[in-house]
Amino acid sequence: MKEYELTVLIHPDLEVDLEAPLDKVRKLVTDNGGKVLREDNWGKKKMAYRINGQDFAVYVSMDVELPPEAPLKISNTLNITDEVLRYLLVKVDVKGRKALEDAKARAGASNDEDSEE
């Protein structure tokens, strides 16, 4: 299974009961053989441009693991889901993520050495 990042923009009127649309997205992932590794709710934000007459959306980012056939099925379903204004499903660049973590670790180590002097 490959790792993906899924970001969904939920209709702002559903902010009060956000669990219902998020459960729908989670169930969509698990029903297609995947699993949600991490979930991060960014809250309600103003969008760059109006979508379906809405200026705001609730942004939620998820790290998911999916089998090869699942991204297409998930995309097709999210395209017709009323609660989701927009979504972005991208494959994680594992090498790029590791390089970024290594760079952060090196930067943190050099900052620690500077503070000891």
Report, at the CATH architecture level, how domain 2-92 is classified.
2-Layer Sandwich (3.30)
Cβ-Cβ contacts under 8 Å for 28 (sequence gap 6 or more): 74, 77, 78
Instruction: Please report, in tens digits, the pLDDT of each residue of the chain (117 residues total).
Output: 899 999 999 999 998 999 999 999 999 999 999 999 999 999 999 999 999 999 999 999 999 999 999 999 999 999 999 999 999 999 988 888 788 888 888 888 776 655 555
Domain ranges of the chain: 2-92
Instruction: Round to whole Å and give the CA distance between 88 and 103.
Output: 26
Across-strand partners of 8?
A: 60, 87
Instruction: Please tell me the predicted confidence (pLDDT) of residue 31.
Output: 95
Report the Cα 56 to chain-centroid distance in Å.
Answer: 17
